[in-house]
Amino acid sequence: MSHRRPTWDEYFVEMARLAATRATCPRRRVGAVLVRDARVIATGYNGAVRGAPHCDDVGCLLDNGHCKRTVHAELNALLQCALNGVSSRGSTLYTTDFPCVDCAKALVQAGVERVIYLADYPDPNSAGVLRAGGVELYRAVPVEEPPGDAEAAATRVVLDDGDLPFARFVPARAGYRLVRDPRGA
Protein backbone atom coordinates (compact mmCIF):
# COMPACT_ATOMS: atom_id res chain seq x y z
CA MET A 1 0.00 0.00 0.00
CA SER A 2 1.35 3.42 -0.87
CA HIS A 3 1.86 6.14 1.68
CA ARG A 4 -1.04 8.53 2.08
CA ARG A 5 -0.33 12.10 3.04
CA PRO A 6 -2.84 13.50 5.51
CA THR A 7 -4.99 16.40 4.40
CA TRP A 8 -4.09 19.78 5.89
CA ASP A 9 -7.07 19.50 8.23
CA GLU A 10 -5.97 16.04 9.40
CA TYR A 11 -2.41 17.27 9.87
CA PHE A 12 -3.44 20.24 12.03
CA VAL A 13 -5.94 18.19 14.07
CA GLU A 14 -3.09 15.80 14.89
CA MET A 15 -0.90 18.78 15.84
CA ALA A 16 -3.59 19.93 18.29
CA ARG A 17 -3.67 16.44 19.77
CA LEU A 18 0.11 16.55 20.17
CA ALA A 19 -0.06 19.99 21.82
CA ALA A 20 -2.56 18.54 24.32
CA THR A 21 0.13 16.15 25.56
CA ARG A 22 1.91 19.23 27.01
CA ALA A 23 -1.15 20.27 29.07
CA THR A 24 -0.58 20.40 32.81
CA CYS A 25 -4.16 20.37 34.14
CA PRO A 26 -5.47 16.83 34.63
CA ARG A 27 -9.12 17.96 34.56
CA ARG A 28 -8.98 18.71 30.83
CA ARG A 29 -5.92 18.25 28.63
CA VAL A 30 -6.54 20.50 25.66
CA GLY A 31 -4.30 21.44 22.75
CA ALA A 32 -4.83 24.14 20.13
CA VAL A 33 -3.16 25.20 16.89
CA LEU A 34 -3.83 28.48 15.07
CA VAL A 35 -3.28 28.26 11.32
CA ARG A 36 -3.45 30.75 8.46
CA ASP A 37 -2.75 29.86 4.82
CA ALA A 38 -1.75 26.28 5.78
CA ARG A 39 0.95 27.62 8.13
CA VAL A 40 1.02 27.33 11.91
CA ILE A 41 1.05 30.78 13.52
CA ALA A 42 0.76 29.63 17.17
CA THR A 43 0.08 26.69 19.44
CA GLY A 44 -1.26 26.45 22.95
CA TYR A 45 -2.25 24.02 25.65
CA ASN A 46 -3.94 24.17 29.05
CA GLY A 47 -1.40 25.17 31.66
CA ALA A 48 -0.64 27.44 34.58
CA VAL A 49 0.46 31.03 34.14
CA ARG A 50 4.18 31.31 33.36
CA GLY A 51 6.19 30.80 36.54
CA ALA A 52 3.28 29.41 38.59
CA PRO A 53 3.09 25.80 39.77
CA HIS A 54 1.25 23.35 37.52
CA CYS A 55 -1.96 21.56 38.49
CA ASP A 56 -0.16 18.26 37.86
CA ASP A 57 2.24 19.23 40.68
CA VAL A 58 0.03 21.03 43.23
CA GLY A 59 -3.54 20.20 42.27
CA CYS A 60 -6.27 22.21 40.63
CA LEU A 61 -7.54 25.53 41.99
CA LEU A 62 -11.27 24.88 41.65
CA ASP A 63 -14.03 27.47 41.64
CA ASN A 64 -17.56 26.40 40.73
CA GLY A 65 -16.22 23.25 39.07
CA HIS A 66 -13.64 25.04 36.92
CA CYS A 67 -9.88 25.17 37.37
CA LYS A 68 -8.81 28.79 37.81
CA ARG A 69 -5.07 28.01 37.79
CA THR A 70 -5.16 27.13 34.10
CA VAL A 71 -4.89 29.36 31.05
CA HIS A 72 -6.87 27.60 28.33
CA ALA A 73 -5.19 26.27 25.19
CA GLU A 74 -7.08 28.58 22.84
CA LEU A 75 -6.18 31.67 24.86
CA ASN A 76 -2.55 30.54 25.14
CA ALA A 77 -2.39 30.28 21.34
CA LEU A 78 -3.89 33.77 20.93
CA LEU A 79 -1.45 35.15 23.51
CA GLN A 80 1.47 33.60 21.62
CA CYS A 81 0.31 35.50 18.54
CA ALA A 82 0.19 38.72 20.57
CA LEU A 83 3.63 38.15 22.11
CA ASN A 84 5.14 37.52 18.69
CA GLY A 85 3.34 40.30 16.81
CA VAL A 86 1.39 37.89 14.59
CA SER A 87 -2.19 38.67 13.63
CA SER A 88 -4.73 35.90 14.12
CA ARG A 89 -7.24 37.62 11.81
CA GLY A 90 -8.54 35.19 9.20
CA SER A 91 -7.09 32.13 10.92
CA THR A 92 -8.47 28.68 11.72
CA LEU A 93 -8.25 27.21 15.20
CA TYR A 94 -7.77 23.44 15.45
CA THR A 95 -8.52 22.28 18.98
CA THR A 96 -9.06 19.05 20.82
CA ASP A 97 -12.08 20.46 22.70
CA PHE A 98 -14.80 22.93 21.76
CA PRO A 99 -13.94 26.36 23.23
CA CYS A 100 -15.54 27.58 26.47
CA VAL A 101 -17.52 30.82 26.36
CA ASP A 102 -14.56 32.98 27.49
CA CYS A 103 -12.27 31.50 24.84
CA ALA A 104 -15.07 31.84 22.27
CA LYS A 105 -15.28 35.58 23.01
CA ALA A 106 -11.49 35.93 22.66
CA LEU A 107 -11.49 34.01 19.36
CA VAL A 108 -14.20 36.24 17.89
CA GLN A 109 -12.39 39.41 19.01
CA ALA A 110 -9.10 38.11 17.58
CA GLY A 111 -10.63 37.56 14.13
CA VAL A 112 -10.54 33.76 14.02
CA GLU A 113 -12.85 32.68 11.17
CA ARG A 114 -13.11 28.91 11.61
CA VAL A 115 -12.91 26.43 14.51
CA ILE A 116 -12.32 22.72 13.98
CA TYR A 117 -12.68 20.65 17.14
CA LEU A 118 -12.61 17.00 18.20
CA ALA A 119 -14.70 16.88 21.40
CA ASP A 120 -17.69 19.00 22.34
CA TYR A 121 -17.84 21.15 25.48
CA PRO A 122 -20.93 21.28 27.71
CA ASP A 123 -21.53 25.04 27.47
CA PRO A 124 -24.35 26.03 25.11
CA ASN A 125 -23.35 29.71 25.25
CA SER A 126 -20.02 29.12 23.50
CA ALA A 127 -21.56 28.20 20.17
CA GLY A 128 -23.87 31.22 20.30
CA VAL A 129 -20.94 33.57 20.80
CA LEU A 130 -19.04 32.00 17.91
CA ARG A 131 -22.09 32.04 15.61
CA ALA A 132 -22.80 35.70 16.43
CA GLY A 133 -19.16 36.45 15.61
CA GLY A 134 -19.43 34.80 12.20
CA VAL A 135 -17.15 31.86 13.07
CA GLU A 136 -17.65 28.64 11.08
CA LEU A 137 -17.64 25.46 13.16
CA TYR A 138 -16.62 21.95 12.13
CA ARG A 139 -16.29 18.80 14.18
CA ALA A 140 -13.45 16.47 13.18
CA VAL A 141 -14.86 12.98 13.44
CA PRO A 142 -12.26 10.18 13.43
CA VAL A 143 -12.73 7.79 10.54
CA GLU A 144 -12.61 4.16 11.57
CA GLU A 145 -10.72 1.66 9.48
CA PRO A 146 -13.19 -0.58 7.69
CA PRO A 147 -12.76 -4.34 7.96
CA GLY A 148 -11.11 -6.20 5.11
CA ASP A 149 -8.13 -5.76 2.88
CA ALA A 150 -5.92 -2.86 4.04
CA GLU A 151 -5.09 -1.93 0.41
CA ALA A 152 -8.74 -1.57 -0.38
CA ALA A 153 -9.48 0.27 2.86
CA ALA A 154 -10.44 3.73 1.73
CA THR A 155 -13.03 5.99 3.21
CA ARG A 156 -14.78 8.97 1.75
CA VAL A 157 -13.89 12.07 3.73
CA VAL A 158 -16.36 14.89 3.28
CA LEU A 159 -16.23 18.52 4.33
CA ASP A 160 -19.90 19.38 4.10
CA ASP A 161 -20.43 23.11 4.00
CA GLY A 162 -24.12 22.66 3.34
CA ASP A 163 -23.98 23.71 -0.29
CA LEU A 164 -20.78 22.57 -1.94
CA PRO A 165 -19.42 19.43 -0.31
CA PHE A 166 -16.09 18.26 -1.59
CA ALA A 167 -14.86 14.75 -1.14
CA ARG A 168 -11.90 12.58 -1.91
CA PHE A 169 -10.86 9.06 -1.08
CA VAL A 170 -8.20 8.59 1.58
CA PRO A 171 -7.03 5.57 3.55
CA ALA A 172 -9.15 5.24 6.66
CA ARG A 173 -6.39 4.50 9.13
CA ALA A 174 -5.59 8.10 10.06
CA GLY A 175 -8.37 10.23 8.74
CA TYR A 176 -10.95 12.62 10.05
CA ARG A 177 -14.27 13.55 8.52
CA LEU A 178 -15.14 17.22 9.01
CA VAL A 179 -18.80 17.74 9.71
CA ARG A 180 -20.21 21.24 9.60
CA ASP A 181 -21.61 22.19 13.00
CA PRO A 182 -24.94 23.95 12.44
CA ARG A 183 -24.36 26.00 15.59
CA GLY A 184 -21.70 28.02 13.75
CA ALA A 185 -21.93 30.78 11.14
| Residues carrying an active site annotation | 74
CA 118/CA 122 separation, integer angstroms: 13
Q: Which of 37, 135, 121 has its CA nearest to residue 86?
A: 37
- If we measure between CA atoms, which residue out of 38, 66, 69 comes closest to residue 53? 69
**Rounded Cα gap, residues 78 and 72, in angstroms:** 10
Count, residues in the chain = 185
Q: For residues 77 and 53, is the Cβ–Cβ distance under 8 A?
A: no
Q: Which of 176, 88, 94, 98 is nearest to 131 (CA)?
A: 98
For 161, which DSSP code?
-
d(CA 60, CA 26): 8
What single-letter amino acid sits at 142?
P
Helix (H, G, I), strand (E, B) or coil at 181: coil
